[in-house]
Amino acid sequence: MKEQELYLCAMQILDGQLVAGAVKEELTIRVAQLVAEGRKVPHLAAILVGNNGASETYIGSKVKTCQDIGFKSTLIRLPEDISEFKLLNSIHDLNRDPDVDGILVQLPLPKSISDENVINAIDPFKDVDGFHPSNAGRMLQGLPTFLPATPHGIMLLLEHYKIDTRGLHAVVIGRSNIVGRPMSILLSNNSNPGNCTVTICHSHTKNLDEICRSADIIVAALGRAEFVTGDMVKEGAIVIDVGITRVPDSTKKRGYVIRGDVQFSTVATKCSFITPVPGGVGPMTIAALMKNTYKACIDKN
């Protein structure tokens, strides 16, 4: 057997579809219990502004998952040219609605609307995406809160596969408020998974390749298709691919293929664990969102 084949054999896929399925199964049972006890079921309200194709897909999956596990869901579609004032009013209405437990506003928003104002307008107790500054602050201090769905989902995946991260060097590529920064906080928490020594990288990082080669864990969250290649990865590293990029492909009926931030073909032969795209972080993000929505409902009722 060639050396490369040996590595391929040793490599394990972190199957987000499978783990998300287990989370959803558990939530389905809990919702059935709520119904049996005559209690309120979790209700997620989602706002979609405009008709961006990728956002339509993501929001569609979230609504469908709610239906699958027995949550109530409401999808509010608003036109691309809606004013920030009107969008904020819709959020205030949902904040006041006692039946709504969780609110999410699908990002990105049109350029004329401030993400910050929108995120700040959501009631922190209904902020199931975990983006509100008060929830981000609670996360920073290790207090109970809604963890941002994508990093939360990644932590659930590491936990499921019993990956001991203590003392490992984790390199997070990307520093957005929704993925990279919270990911770096969770990985550096005094917990397991956690207790990593974390390096956070961005577009101004020098010697990125070298930093990646020193990583025991790489979380690629930069949104550049197949950016992380095999030569940037140490033998046996754990590689988490957050990226979702639509790459034009005229051979496909829909005209594009989905690519992650990691070049799977060259990286999979070297690492110990890897998340595929699709089927890795994406389903875990939705599973974590559902866990947050369940928590919002239970905390309130």
Residues with catalytic function? 62, 106, 129
Angle between helices 149-160 and 16-36 (to 10 degrees): 100
Q: Which range in 94-102, 158-166, 173-181, 288-296 contacts ligand NAP by CB under 6 A? A: 173-181
Cβ atoms < 10 Å from Cβ of 18 = 13
Nearest-angstrom CA–CA distance, 81 and 97? 25
Nearest-angstrom CA–CA distance, 21 and 157? 12
Please say which residue, 48 or 173, places its beta carbon nearer to ligand NAP: 173
Eight-state DSSP code of residue 280: S
Eight-state DSSP code of residue 278: S
| Min CB(114)–ligand NAP separation in Å | 15
| Min CB(220)–ligand NAP separation in Å | 8
Q: Which of 178, 183, 217, 240 binds ligand NAP (CB under 6 A)?
A: 178
Eight-state DSSP code of residue 262: B
Element (H, E) at 18: helix 16-36
Residue 202 in the binding site for ligand NAP (CB under 6 A): yes
User: 243 to 262, contacts with ligand NAP by CB under 6 A?
Assistant: 243-245
Please say which residue, 41 or 119, places its beta carbon nearer to ligand NAP: 119
Please say which residue, 42 or 282, places its beta carbon nearer to ligand NAP: 282
Cβ atoms < 10 Å from Cβ of 89 = 13
Residue 201 in the binding site for ligand NAP (CB under 6 A): yes
Q: Which of 162, 204, 253, 254 binds ligand NAP (CB under 6 A)?
A: 204
Residue 173 in the binding site for ligand NAP (CB under 6 A): yes
Q: Which of 19, 128, 170, 281 binds ligand NAP (CB under 6 A)?
A: 281
Please say which residue, 70 or 223, places its beta carbon nearer to ligand NAP: 223
Nearest-angstrom CA–CA distance, 217 and 212? 9
Residue pointed to by tokens 């917990």: 191
Q: Which of 242, 231, 227 is nearest to 282 (CA)?
A: 242
Residue 27 in the binding site for ligand NAP (CB under 6 A): no
Name 172's bridge partners.
Answer: 200, 219
Residue 184 in the binding site for ligand NAP (CB under 6 A): no
Binding site for ligand NAP (CB under 6 A): 150, 173-176, 178-180, 201-205, 208, 221-224, 242-245, 281-282, 285
